Amino acid sequence: MKYIYLVVIFISGILLASDVKPINNQLALKECGSCHFAYQPGLLPKRSWKKIISNLGNHFGTDASLDKKDEQMLLSYFIKNSSDNSNQYLSRVITRYTRADKTPMRITTGVVFRRAHDELRRSTFLRKSVGNPGNCIACHRTAKRGLYNEDYVRIPR
């Protein structure tokens, strides 16, 4: 009997564990979630976040600048929780498959993202209800919790 409980706890532990650590910082949720889904720090290595967060004045062709104090606070939060400082499953995979001599600026151009979505057509990402590949939350309904498991995916029409 005891044994069954343990198995149940173990299995639900696996099911509930997130792939990346959810964001638990109000400033990051507010400032990095105003123009798009707030990507978890565990989706890119710290060298990427350094480059992204120190260039917010020219962020993918838009001005996302912050005052120095907020920028510094976000930088340390993103570095502390970057993929290479995290033990979560998806973060470890991303760290492992990102070439050490590259500093990716996007999640959506990385090997892990491309392999995970190789069965999807480009047009699926561009349809109106999705917009672009970076809109994780359009298909991954549990993305805010850091859960990207394919069981929770629903592609909108």
Least distance CB 73 / ligand HEC (angstroms): 10
Least distance CB 147 / other proteins (angstroms): 20
Determine which residue in the list 116, 141, 144, 145 makes contact with ligand HEC, applying CB under 6 A.
116
Q: What is the CA radius of gyration of the chain?
A: 17
Q: Does 109 bind other proteins (CB under 8 A)?
A: no
Nearest residue to 137 via CA among 149, 121, 153: 153
Distance (Å, whole) CA 32 – CA 76: 14
Q: Does 132 bind other proteins (CB under 8 A)?
A: yes
For other proteins, what does the binding mask look like between residues 26 and 65, x meaning CB under 8 A? ---------xxx----------------------xxxxxx
Distance (Å, whole) CA 73 – CA 76: 5
3-class secondary structure per residue, 47-103: HHHHHHHCCHHHECCECCCCCHHHHHHHHHHHHHCCHHHCCCHHHHHHHHHCCCCCC
Residues that bind ligand HEC (CB under 6 A): 19, 31-32, 34-36, 39, 43, 52-53, 56, 59-60, 62, 64, 74, 90, 106-108, 116-117, 119-120, 124-125, 130, 132-136, 138-140, 148-150, 153, 155
